[in-house]
């Protein structure tokens, strides 16, 4: 007989003496209740930001990319900075859902649903930038390798931008499938509790006819494993390919072999920070402290200090190589354009250093890792720092490259560039608010799965039984 029992020393993953029904009640309650005033205010702000973003894009498409302050030297600025930033954020969701599933990390169940939702919305936001930053967005379908009557004229398989198209679309598809397949049993739960016909219909359609039969569960488990297997390489490959946009070029500051691992670490770093920001709010607003516990927050803070230190090492390695290579162009980019505080963009480099490398080091202290306010504050700081990192990589490399005659005037964004960025915030939070209202924000079925082995109540009861021998236990509990 398989009997998994966890040590009393390990923190329970679910607090409170709960049974299955209570878990359902706790998680489904926000879906069945009327939205709060706070929800309406938040949703309203998000939609306003989104609409402003739509207007900013309308201007960019109608009047041209000249609505932005990019120029002949700085061809990418906020657009690609924001693209890389959002894609990076998505990575934490995939890591939590796929890699932690394969590693059998029980704690993922408390946060994986919301983290995967974050991934999907973040990738949606990221995708906006490479699309709308095109000069002729109405010709964007040229990047798809479809059979055509122009020769046929194919896409350029040498181009990292094309690899991006494949990487991002694969990533989005797999993440969406993974997320949705996990949602099926939970939608069925909501459907079965529905108190109006409309709810029953809508959640019934969303649940794809899930009945909870053993066969369903067996297939569901297999599918989860297969999708986890597919997602795992994506955690590494997607941001590696994004880093190729820069690493395969000839521009000093971009042409760097360290980029793939450094980008992946940075992506996980920023992603976990975003998960923290969202979780701290969700657990408070929906009173889900029992499910998203201090243990969760501490575990994620550990990931943050680890990945933050990895990017720190990468920054220092770049600086070292800028000197060691004795390449005057790289030396100039790394030691003047970036690391020299009083160069035009020095502030962004040191902002990055302060936010990404120095400040997360406070998470070496257990007290700090378990402090909600510090966690929330740091999660924002880290995301600001990671935005700086992408800005530093893109703009400080481009604005002064080889020939001084083409060095750029100081690049700062127009209101429409900023509007596009805030518009993606609007998109993200509009989606997230809808998700929080209509979807179970915690995976109900998966929480139930770990409840028996690692819930606080069960742990307490198991403690008593632990004294008994296994045989007596089996004898007593077997019918």
Binding flag, residue 202, another protein (CB under 8 A): no
If the CB atoms of residues 57 and 442 are measured against another protein, the closer one turns out to be 57
If the CB atoms of residues 195 and 410 are measured against another protein, the closer one turns out to be 410
Judged by CB under 8 A, which of 16, 160, 212, 457 binds another protein? Answer: 160
**Cis? peptide before 359, omega within 30° of 0:** no
Per-residue binding letters, 120-139, with another protein (x by CB under 8 A): ----------x--xxxxx-x
Question: CB of 31: closest distance to another protein in angstroms?
Answer: 42
Per-residue binding letters, 56-95, with another protein (x by CB under 8 A): ------xxxxx--xxxxxxxx-------------------
Judged by CB under 8 A, which of 41, 51, 161, 470 binds another protein? Answer: 161
If the CB atoms of residues 22 and 69 are measured against another protein, the closer one turns out to be 69
If the CB atoms of residues 76 and 433 are measured against another protein, the closer one turns out to be 76
Residues whose CB is less than 8 angstroms from the CB of residue 391 and which lie 6 or more positions away in sequence, other chains included: 78, 81, 348
Question: CB of 399: closest distance to another protein in angstroms?
Answer: 10
Q: Which among 475, 462, 394, 469 has a CA at the least distance from the CA of 80? A: 394
If the CB atoms of residues 70 and 300 are measured against another protein, the closer one turns out to be 70
Q: Which among 347, 296, 475, 398 has a CA at the least distance from the CA of 81? A: 398
**H-type helices in 64-192, by residue range?**
78-94, 100-102, 108-132, 160-192
Question: CB of 44: closest distance to another protein in angstroms?
Answer: 31
Per-residue binding letters, 386-425, with another protein (x by CB under 8 A): ------------x--xxx-xx-xx----------------
Judged by CB under 8 A, which of 155, 223, 285, 362 binds another protein? Answer: 155
Binding flag, residue 298, another protein (CB under 8 A): no
Residues whose CB is less than 8 angstroms from the CB of residue 269 and which lie 6 or more positions away in sequence, other chains included: 303, 304, 307, 308, 310, 311, 356, 382, 386
If the CB atoms of residues 94 and 397 are measured against another protein, the closer one turns out to be 397
Binding flag, residue 467, another protein (CB under 8 A): no
* Residues 186, 193: Cα–Cα separation, whole Å: 11
Q: Which among 116, 89, 88 has a CA at the least distance from the CA of 101? A: 116
**Max CA separation in the chain (angstroms):** 86
Q: Which among 116, 150, 114, 125 has a CA at the least distance from the CA of 57? A: 125
Size of the site for another protein (CB under 8 A): 46
Token pair of 313 as six digits? 């090492």
Question: CB of 395: closest distance to another protein in angstroms?
Answer: 11
User: In this structure, what are the phi and psi dihedrals at residue 30, rounded to the nearest 5 degrees?
Assistant: -60, -30
Give the dihedral sign, CA 262/263/268/273.
Answer: positive
Binding flag, residue 250, another protein (CB under 8 A): yes
If the CB atoms of residues 160 and 346 are measured against another protein, the closer one turns out to be 160
Which residue shows structure tokens 């690692």? 454
Residue 67 burial (CB count, 10 A): 20
| Residue 14 vs residues 22, 50, 93, 292: alpha-carbon distances, Å | 12, 36, 20, 8
Binding flag, residue 153, another protein (CB under 8 A): yes
Binding positions for another protein, rule: CB under 8 A: 62-66, 69-76, 130, 133-137, 139-140, 142-143, 153-156, 158-162, 165, 245, 248-251, 398, 401-403, 405-406, 408-409
């Amino acid at each position: 007989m398989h009997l998994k029992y966890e040590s009393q020393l390990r923190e329970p993953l679910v607090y409170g003496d709960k049974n299955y029904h209570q878990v359902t009640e706790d998680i489904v309650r926000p879906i069945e209740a009327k939205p709060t005033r706070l929800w309406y205010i938040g949703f309203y702000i998000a939609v306003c930001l989104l609409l402003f973003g739509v207007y900013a894009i309308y201007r960019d498409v109608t009047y041209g990319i000249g609505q932005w302050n990019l120029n002949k030297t700085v061809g990418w600025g906020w657009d690609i900075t924001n693209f890389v930033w959002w894609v990076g954020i998505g990575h934490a969701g995939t890591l939590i859902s796929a890699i932690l599933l394969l590693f059998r990390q029980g704690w993922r169940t408390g946060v994986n649903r919301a983290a995967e939702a974050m991934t999907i919305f973040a990738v949606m936001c990221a995708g906006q930038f490479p699309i709308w930053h095109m000069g002729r967005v109405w010709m964007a379908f040229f990047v798809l390798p479809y059979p055509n009557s122009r020769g046929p004229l194919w896409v350029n398989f040498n181009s990292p931008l094309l690899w991006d198209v494949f990487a991002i679309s694969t990533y989005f598809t797999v993440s969406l499938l993974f997320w949705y397949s996990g949602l099926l049993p939970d939608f069925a739960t909501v459907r079965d509790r529905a108190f109006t016909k409309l709810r029953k219909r809508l959640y019934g359609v969303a649940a794809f006819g899930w009945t909870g039969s053993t066969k369903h569960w067996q297939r569901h488990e297999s599918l989860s494993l297969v999708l986890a297997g597919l997602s795992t390489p994506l955690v590494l490959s997607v941001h590696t390919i994004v880093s190729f946009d820069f690493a395969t070029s000839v521009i000093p500051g971009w042409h760097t072999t360290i980029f793939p691992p450094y980008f992946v670490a940075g992506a996980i770093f920023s992603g976990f920070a975003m998960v923290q920001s969202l979780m701290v709010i969700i657990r408070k607003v929906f009173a889900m402290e029992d499910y998203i516990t201090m243990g969760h927050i501490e575990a994620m803070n550990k990931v943050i200090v680890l990945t933050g230190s990895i990017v720190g090492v990468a920054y220092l390695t770049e600086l070292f190589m800028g000197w060691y290579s004795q390449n005057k162009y790289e030396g100039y980019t790394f030691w003047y354009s970036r690391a020299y505080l009083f160069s035009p963009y020095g502030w962004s480099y040191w902002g990055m250093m302060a936010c990404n490398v120095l400040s997360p080091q406070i998470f070496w202290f257990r007290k700090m890792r378990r402090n909600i306010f510090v966690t929330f504050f740091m999660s924002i700081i880290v995301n600001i720092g990671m935005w700086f990192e992408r800005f530093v990589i893109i703009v400080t490399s481009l604005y002064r490259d080889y020939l001084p005659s083409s060095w750029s005037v100081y690049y700062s964004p127009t209101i429409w560039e900023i509007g596009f960025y805030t518009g993606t915030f609007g998109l993200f939070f509009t989606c997230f608010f809808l998700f929080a209202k209509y979807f179970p924000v915690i995976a109900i079925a998966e929480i139930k799965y770990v409840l028996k082995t690692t819930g606080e109540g069960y742990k307490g009861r198991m403690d008593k039984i632990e004294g008994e021998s296994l045989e007596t236990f089996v004898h007593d509990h077997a019918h």
